[in-house]
Chain A
Amino acid sequence: MFMRILKKDLKRKKTMNIILLLFVIMCSMFAAASTNNIIAVTGGIEHYFEISNAPDATVDMRPNDEIKKEIENLPSVSEVRTESRICILDGNSLKRNGKKMDNYINMPVLISDKEFPMNYFDDDEKIIKEVPKGCFYAISVFTQDINISADDKFQFEIGDAKIELEYAGRFRGAFLGNDSNYSPCIIMNHEDYDLLYNDPAAESLKEDILYINTSDIEEINQLGYDNIYVESKSEYKGIYIYDMFSAYIMLAISVILMITSFVMLRFTVGFTISEEFHEIGVMKAIGMNNGSIRSLYIVKYFAISVVGSVLGFFGSIPLGNAMMKTITKNIIFVNESSILTGALSSVGIVAIIMLFCYGCTRKVNKLSPIDAVRNGQTGERFGKKSIMHLGRSKLPTTGFLSFNDIISSPKRFIVVTLIFSLCMLMMTIMSVFALTLKSEKILYLFDIPTSEAHIADLSYYPDIFTDFSNCEKAIEKTDKMLADNGISGKSGITMGSCYETFCGDKKAKIWYYVSRGLENDLFRCDEGYAPEKFDEIAMTGYAMEDLGAEIGDRVRTKIGGKEYEFIITGKFSTFQGSGHSVQLSSDFDGFALNDSISCFGIQVHFDGNPNEKTIADNIEKIKTVIGSDKVYTTTEMIKQCTQMSDTINAIKKMMMILTVVVTIMVVILMERSFISKEKSEIALMKAVGISNGSVIAQHAMRFVIVSIIACAVSLSVLRPLSNVIFNRICSMIGDVSGAECDINPVEVFAVCPAILIGITVIGSFLTALYTRTIKASDAASIE
């Protein structure tokens, strides 16, 4: 008998059962895909380093056998592997089809395939064993912004050695870096490499990277060499900060999707069970006990949830892959037990549905048979008063009925509003982040003064890396170039170098920055005041934490072999040096030969307040004069530096697609279930002469109103929420507080709401058309 009731129920309430099944599929898909993503992302870098055979530390130095031997002999060192490199300083040394390449900022680095100290991976995530002669692989920095295809020919020239190689594809190396702040690395066949390496002109371009497995990195530092640069495995994790940022955004999206689907599922289970109250009442009335009644529904939901979870599990595989591919191509994210994880997630969904079902059917115990009957199909409400009154309302009847429905059933529409608001927030926040991460509003976070053009071609200012005093010459050269070409403006350089700094008994590696040429007008201190004298510095909060210092404290460091003592005058926000930075006063000129210096190229500030066209014209002029395309606008420069704008744009697009899918599903499934529950009322309305059009409009309008409310709610919290999240995210990249987001009003206030409302209008209208199948005469035949 039990099974017969169940079978009949599954058949008779086909629509609601199918709706529930679809929600279970959706929930299971999101949960399985999201769980896999979360596991892949959280273990992401560690796993990537592991499969790359990453060492504990690297030493970057000019080829020197003595130092190498000394390192090998250190007691803590268990293994040293060497990678020989050639750093190309001259832009003319590497050409594509005879033309100088301008799509990257830093100097290209050539690597031989003779013996790989680490595993490098091709685009199919397979380990590269060797490179065919006449070919080369390059990392993404090399191919950014150009349409490159396999078979493209590239000319390499060092001194008298000239070779032409074919591009074989992209490769990835865990320690090589992936954004434009890093050098474009190229691996080639050892025979081709040796040809260039053995040319006398390559002598000054040679570099060795030692990959060292050691139990104590400090021992290498204590050797006391100034001309070697030691980096630990954990420091290399910084390479992936932008990739991990995108990954964590995807993780947040996954969590939100899971929450959304659980909210929908909880609502649907509760809603479908409330549909059954009439029958529950009848069953109670004829003497069935509570346990039997509950088990009837629990078995039904179990059957639906098992079928839905299995289908959802299969759907989660392509969804999860699509989500992960959007994040980054730089890290190999792998969840080796993804099938098991997905299967466990699906089992989890079944368990959660059972819990929901158990919770929802608990009410069965409390209801008397007659309560259940009344609370069923008659749709009576208890203890609620109508808030709106038709007679006193100025709204048109259809609008009134829609609003009244929403107000009268707040729980169900709050669920829809919540889901819509989450979708809307995910879309708009992505839009805000994508814009802010290339906005001039955050220029100050790079310690760069107001400037409109940025010369990033290394060959234009190669000398400044070898001697800090050459930066004055580069500024003079640029100012003269501007004046000679009728461009009214001034140039400047912001440079930085990393030094061990001491405060009391504490020490830390801190980046020191100083601006030359242009006054750093955008520099501001969150606390205290900007450094004005030679021995004054502003310091970030992170650096102060490292040193246990406060404003007013004195810190010591050695720059160019000379000891300095600085007083901390203020605290500031910056992306520079991952937030472990110091801003020196503009009078400081202590950077010296052999200090490893970094800079964002040369900044140009045009006089007056030039409009976009003038800036573009000036930039074109500079490009022609210096013979390089590596002259960027501020937006382009920030975009290059943050590297996240494009990824976030891709996530934003994926969010838009997900929003469309989720909204359509929610609208169709929820509206269809509402209609199913309101069948008698719809029939009654038709019986009293209300037209099909009005009924359709009323049902569609309810969802449209909810979508408008969701837009208003999400847009009203967008700015504060974006600022809070943006600052949190920025504090992962640097030490940032108080940064404000940039908003594209058209996209945020027009395009995104239009997508949500438009989809709701279409979805709800098409679903409401179903009400046409309900006849006026059904009013008498519905229970």
Chain B
Amino acid sequence: MIRWLAGLIGFALAVTSALAAEPALIGVGYLGVAATRSTLSLVEQPAENDGIAGARLAIEDNNTTGKFLGQRFVLEERRIREGEDVVRAAIALAEKNGFIIADLPADALLKVSDALRERGTLLFNTGAIDERLREADCRANVIHTAPTRAMLADALGQYLVWKKWSRWLLVVGSHDEDKLFADALRRTATRFGAKIVQERTFEDKGGARRTDSGVTLIQRQMPVFTQQAPAYDVLVAADESEVFGAYLPYRTWDPRPVAGSAGLVPRSWDASQDQWGAIQMQNRFMKLNSRRMSAVDMQAWTAARMIGEATSRTNSGDVKKVTDFIKGPDFSVAAFKGTRLTLRDWNLQLRQPILLVDGRMVVSVSPQEGFLHQVSELDTLGYDRPESKCKLK
């Protein structure tokens, strides 16, 4: 018995010293979709590595810190092609990785989260902005660094109301996600006292986003589409599907600014964001990826940094320990937005300021001054605790 105990102690000592010499490996998986969507503006076309590029930078940042702590982060990337089984790919990724950064559509994300629940893998939703993932369909193993439609709509609405542009002409696309964004904008208008003077639907009749004939036709169509509107201050477009939004600025019948899916756009991040020390990260990102950083890149960077933040604070790579810390009351992460970011404990959504950008500059950052809250002003953006339907399980 004593010999056995001594042997055990000897073994434990050997393990400890081996750990001290060899850095602890922390596996982070990245699960995304291989296809990129088409945008009206060529400039806005997402890069082939949109999202992954942000995760790669955060892994580098984590490793710079990790070398002082004996931690090494490894990123395993997996992109799903059409027809491939996302659940199978997720399970394969989870073999080596306790954390998975997922840029997936809502349904795929739910399937993956349910398939990995028993395993204890922690998922980070960095792509889907659907409200339902934080409400009726919320999951205890999914943390959301992507903002929600309601957060984006509220961020925009607060600014428009602050600017006293409170009469909105709402133009909605004909796809489901356009309608969801319109729902969020209507909720925002009600919350903050704006008035939607009229709604119009822009039907997607198909057609190419690029043509040799160019802008001639658009220049004729858009003024006609926006004429005879009741008096309004700003046209708010809900066009996540990229069918018409970007055609509206400078082409409305009445000379009015455009906001929403074009013109002044709410985003978690922008290539032009350089406040609060962001310039250093923008420079690092450019150096690593030879392009500018998008919102999805930032959402993935934040997810990977949250993992790194928690492993350094707990001095551990243990998934359970790290997960508990991230979900606990002491967790916060710095992400170049002028304030610490924390999780809403009722649905695991990351609280964050939202930038309002025009494609060249950051015009403003919400929450706007004067929108008050008893817990955090960041909770004036999106659904608050009392309204939430989420029951984490």
The finding on whether chains A and B are genuine partners in a shared complex, rather than unrelated, reads no
Residue positions of A touching B, CB distance < 8 A: none
Residue positions of B touching A, CB distance < 8 A: none
